[in-house]
Structure 1
Amino acid sequence: MRQPGRWNSEWMASSILPPEGEQLATGWEPDLEAADSLVRQAVLAHASWATDAARRAGRPWYDGDVWAGGILGDRGPLTNWIVPKQPVDPAEVIADAARELPNNVPYLFVSAWPTRDLREHGLALAGHPPLMLRFPSTMTTPPSTDLQLRAVTDEAGLAEAERVLIEGYPFPELQPHQPGLIYHPSILDGPSTIWLGYDGDIPLATSVAHSAAGITIVENVAVLPAARGRGAGAAITWAATTQYPDQPAALIASDNGQPVYARLNYHRLERWTVWVRP
């Protein structure tokens, strides 16, 4: 005989269980639509960012169900990204990347999930930066600056954007600047728009908007010292954020950038994990 109260609890438990054998989505199946979740969109968009420039430039790249990556150069991890697309053992991705891509270059390993210690695989922990998100319907007063903002349309602009990024971030491993280290001319034909902020004819700030999987990711934000305190960081970020005004925008925030992004109505969604192969 059943104990009192068990009838109801057992009925409730059985009512929420799926039919036996039904396939239950985890949110990370390869054939699942990108818009299943905002985090999935952000992961897939960053995977696109990792591969698109390398693919267009004729450099090594790989895009599979489990991970994506691209190799643009050999002088710094900024140019090379590895992005898992599913919550798998990162050691498997690292080993696979060593087979599919050049194995003698630095890269960023950008994971939407916490990872175990990867130092035994030659990586160093860069941190757990937050993924920040802004919805397109959010009312925001556009930031003001005395710089003139322009989208890059030619190779000369690409070279200027590279120099501002390398010196403004900064990335000493990419100095002295040589045009083409980060932006191949073919990037102008893709889903990335590069922005520059000028004081007269002098470029002082830069950002990139990359559109993929129904979301805009904002990358490569940098401001030279001469433009700091002039609203340049917020304004150049805003230009990239609103490049595709009907899409949500996401970015992986640095510690210094978070207050700026918060003022633009970006919200911290979750922390990601970033490792660097030096």
Structure 2
Amino acid sequence: MLLTLVPTLHAAMALRILGGLAAAATIPTVFALIADRIPPAKQAGAMGSVMLGMTAGIAAGPAVAGLLTEAWGWRTPFLLIAGSCLVAFGAGWCVIPHDRPSACTIKESSIKKAGAGIFRLLLAKGAWNGSAVAGYVFAGEVLRMRYGLEVGAVGVAVSVFGLGLGVGNMLAGHCSRRYQREENILVLATVVMACSMTLFLTAATGLPVALGCLLVWGAALGIAAPASTAILAQRAGANKGKVLAASESVNNVAVLMLLPVAASASATSLITPAAALLGGICLAGAIGSATVRRR
């Protein structure tokens, strides 16, 4: 709300930083709440539903904001977001139980035993998630250079990745219920992700095959992310809030480290070496996830 009143760009940037801090605090708390209140067998599906909402917001937000800005000015999107946050606060206050959770507890000895496995899972997630997001950054440039697409067509083609991501989020719960072991789902999804990403970025296939790779790449990421979050929450026990916050931090650091690789590849047309590097890092993350045994 204050963003609509500030007189300078610097003040607006400071408020955006505060908004980012609030979002960074909210996301791991939401996942920790799911782990506290929902049985383990249903956690991946619940987290997938949350991530589906995030995916929809990321995909539709810029378009909706643009339409609102054209119609009623740039303040309108911010006022709509502020109003939505207040509605969400009211709904959460009424719906979320205020008592301390008594279910889904884990013995302290199990938590200590799982500590090393949690650390390896965090590093593995940073590897496959960071490489997948960084690779997506120059997917549009690959489509433009390889198939001669115009800017508008590139935007439509790249949106296939978002479609796959949403499909993966919706399938996360089904996969968890069907196979009843998130560890296997995670390893399979990350391997599929690494293969489809590498194929898309390095192989000169036809456009339909490339779009299919984008779709599978997004779907695999959409399945792997909630599965990984559910595993971390279950293994962390009472420390799930700290572990999930650390997970988000590791993801962000990995993306920041790998984004320059994607940016330099787009600028210098050295796409194949960069793609091979990102695919290898993603596969290394899949292998890292596979080496962590289930408790």
* TM-score strictly above 0.5: no
Using the size of structure 2 for normalisation, the TM-score is: 0.27
Q: Between Structure 1 and Structure 2, which shows a larger proportion of strand residues? A: 1
**Whose Rg is larger?**
1
Which structure has more relative contact order (CA 8 Å, sep 6+)? It is 2
Q: Between Structure 1 and Structure 2, which shows a larger proportion of helix residues? A: 2
